[in-house]
């Protein structure tokens, strides 16, 4: 890195979640002071239990007929970071931050162990889930990445990090477990001691959700303005679990995860992106997951006794990477999708999918955009 790094640790241990009871969601407001440029924030949620262990699969979405329940991976329900009257992170689900990290370069080992928990743990065990909140995008190389640091010293007031802890209704089988959960939070704030004259490009991570009640072909128009660095699609069917609603590989999306469930001729299933009446990407979620897996520095996952490779958040999730589909960070922003009306002639950037719906289906669209004139952050040919 070009500038010295500083860290601040904030710890909170305010929550006891008692199984078999109900509790409301709780929002913590944590001030982020202005002394240095902000690079990232890591929120680590530590969960311990006495008397019994964690049930198998308790960290991933659980069946419900009334609400989309995330399991313990959704214990951090929502994250918002505001600075200088702007939402850099705008009400993004904690589980979506995990899916994004899993697709960019994998989860940390402790989080991966939790979300891949396939058998009940022993009594008194403890698990940790870390939610990475990247402000300077991890796929962009220096010195371009420096322009994405949040210049806190230039602002007139402190930033605010809002962390919403999920209520019992959001967490599925947690409330039906026999254990009482003690929850503590560690917030690691990462700063760089950069000059105040450093250029800054304003950016935003936002999430949009669409509910569908019938099978068919749909086009979801993404917000105009800004240049897109990535789009994460996450699909769920009838509030059960991550499901590939475009019927790509059935139960599997990564090599080794039950290709036997694939039909001889997959039905429909294409996902396309279009801009200004031009198709710019056409793929399927399983192939998109495969592409993301091959672009990682290492293929992380766990093998079952039957030799099946399980990847966290692999089902029904696909990440369109507009920065770098290969190894290493991007050295410029030439490849981002410019969705500004001046570049598209007023056309909207959209994603098209042919969905197969049983009762209802949900598609989440997690997007990252950079605003303003990015010509100074792009390579130009002579």
The CATH number of residue 135's host domain is: 2.70.9.30
The enclosing domain of 213 has a CATH number of 2.60.120.730
Question: What phi and psi values does residue 332 have, to the nearest 5 degrees?
Answer: -155, 175
301-305 average pLDDT score: 54
Give the model's pLDDT for residue 360.
79
Q: Are 202 and 311 in contact (CB under 8 A)?
A: no
Nearest to 363 by CA among 372, 375, 354, 376: 354
Q: Give 147 or 166, the one with higher predicted confidence.
A: 147
Q: Please tell me whether residues 194 and 324 are part of one structural domain.
A: no
Answer yes or no: is pLDDT of 257 > 80. no
Maximum Cα–Cα distance across the chain: 69
Q: Please tell me whether residues 184 and 255 are part of one structural domain.
A: no
Q: Please tell me whether residues 159 and 208 are part of one structural domain.
A: no
Q: Please tell me whether residues 160 and 296 are part of one structural domain.
A: no
Answer yes or no: is pLDDT of 336 > 50. yes
Query: Six-digit token pair at 157?
Result: 């007031």
Range scoring the smallest mean pLDDT among 39-48, 150-159, 245-254, 364-373: 245-254
Tokens 């994405």 belong to 148
Q: Are 244 and 316 in contact (CB under 8 A)?
A: yes
Buried b / exposed e across 145-181, counting CB within 10 Å, b at 16+? bbbbbbbbeeeeeebebbbbbbebebbbbbbebebbb
Of 42-51, 221-230, 338-347, give the range with the top mean pLDDT: 221-230
Which of 151, 185, 200 is where one domain is finished? 200
Q: Give 320 or 342, the one with higher predicted confidence.
A: 320
Give the model's pLDDT for residue 177.
52
Q: Is 184 exposed, middle or buried (0-12, 13-18, 19+ CB in 10 A)?
A: middle
Give the model's pLDDT for residue 172.
61
Q: Please tell me whether residues 172 and 306 are part of one structural domain.
A: no
Structural domain containing residue 43: 1-200
Give the model's pLDDT for residue 254.
39
Please tell me the total count of domains within the chain: 2
Q: Please tell me whether residues 25 and 148 are part of one structural domain.
A: yes
Query: Six-digit token pair at 125?
Result: 């065990």
Give the model's pLDDT for residue 265.
41
Q: Please tell me whether residues 184 and 222 are part of one structural domain.
A: no
Mean of the per-residue pLDDT values of the chain: 79
Give the model's pLDDT for residue 159.
96
Q: Are 136 and 3 in contact (CB under 8 A)?
A: no
Which of 153, 185, 200 is where one domain is finished? 200
**pTM, rounded to two decimals:** 0.87
Give the model's pLDDT for residue 252.
38
User: pLDDT of 15-50, one tens digit each?
Assistant: 777 666 677 888 999 999 998 999 999 999 988 876
Q: Please tell me whether residues 313 and 242 are part of one structural domain.
A: yes
Q: Give 53 or 177, the one with higher predicted confidence.
A: 53
Give the model's pLDDT for residue 50.
66
Answer yes or no: is pLDDT of 14 > 70. no
Q: Please tell me whether residues 57 and 22 are part of one structural domain.
A: yes
Q: Please tell me whether residues 105 and 120 are part of one structural domain.
A: yes
User: Using CA atoms, how far apart are residues 226 and 204, in angstroms rounded to an integer?
Assistant: 9
User: pLDDT of 266-289, one tens digit each?
Assistant: 444 688 899 877 899 888 777 777
Q: Please tell me whether residues 343 and 244 are part of one structural domain.
A: yes
Answer yes or no: is pLDDT of 124 > 80. no
292-310 average pLDDT score: 58
Answer yes or no: is pLDDT of 255 > 90. no
Which of 185, 200, 215 is where one domain is finished? 200
Collapsing DSSP to helix, strand or coil, 54 comes out as: coil
Answer yes or no: is pLDDT of 108 > 50. yes
C-alpha angle 215/221/223, rounded to 5°?
145
DSSP string covering 105-134, please? T---HHHHHHHT--SPPPTT-EEEEEEEEE
Q: Please tell me whether residues 108 and 231 are part of one structural domain.
A: no
């Amino acid at each position: 890195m070009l500038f010295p790094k500083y860290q601040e640790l904030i710890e909170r241990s305010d929550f006891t979640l008692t199984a078999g009871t109900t509790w409301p969601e709780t929002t913590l407001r944590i001030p982020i002071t202005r002394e240095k440029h902000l690079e990232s924030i890591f929120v680590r949620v530590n969960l311990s239990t006495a008397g019994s262990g964690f049930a198998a699969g308790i960290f991933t979405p659980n069946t419900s007929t009334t609400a989309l329940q995330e399991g313990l991976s959704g214990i951090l329900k929502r994250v918002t970071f505001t600075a200088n009257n702007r939402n850099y992170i705008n009400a993004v689900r904690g589980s979506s931050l995990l899916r994004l990290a899993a697709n960019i370069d994998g989860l940390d080992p402790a989080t991966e162990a939790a979300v891949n928990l396939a058998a009940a743990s022993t009594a008194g065990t403890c698990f940790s889930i870390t939610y990475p909140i990247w402000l300077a995008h991890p796929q962009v190389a220096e010195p371009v990445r420096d322009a994405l640091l949040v210049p806190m010293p230039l602002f007139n007031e402190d930033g605010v990090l809002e962390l919403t802890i999920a209520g019992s209704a959001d967490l599925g089988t947690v409330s039906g477990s026999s254990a009482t959960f003690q929850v503590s939070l560690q917030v690691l704030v990462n700063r760089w001691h950069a000059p105040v004259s450093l250029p800054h490009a304003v950016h935003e991570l936002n999430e949009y959700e669409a509910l569908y009640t019938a099978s068919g072909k749909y086009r979801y128009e993404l917000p105009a303005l800004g240049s897109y660095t990535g789009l994460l699609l996450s699909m769920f069917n009838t509030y059960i679990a991550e499901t590939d609603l475009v019927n790509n590989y059935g139960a599997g999306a990564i090599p080794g995860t039950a290709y036997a469930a694939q039909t001889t001729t997959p039905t429909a299933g294409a996902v396309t992106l279009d801009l200004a009446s031009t198709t710019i990407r056409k793929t399927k979620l399983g192939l998109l997951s495969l592409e993301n897996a091959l672009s990682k520095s290492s293929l992380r996952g766990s093998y079952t006794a039957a030799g099946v490779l399980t990847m966290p958040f692999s089902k029904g999730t696909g990440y369109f990477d507009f920065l770098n589909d290969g190894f290493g960070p991007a050295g410029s922003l030439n490849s981002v999708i410019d969705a500004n009306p001046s570049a598209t002639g007023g056309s909207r950037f959209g994603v098209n999918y042919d969905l197969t719906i049983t009762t209802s289906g949900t598609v989440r669209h997690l997007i990252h955009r950079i605003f303003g004139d990015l010509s100074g952050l792009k390579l130009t040919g002579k």
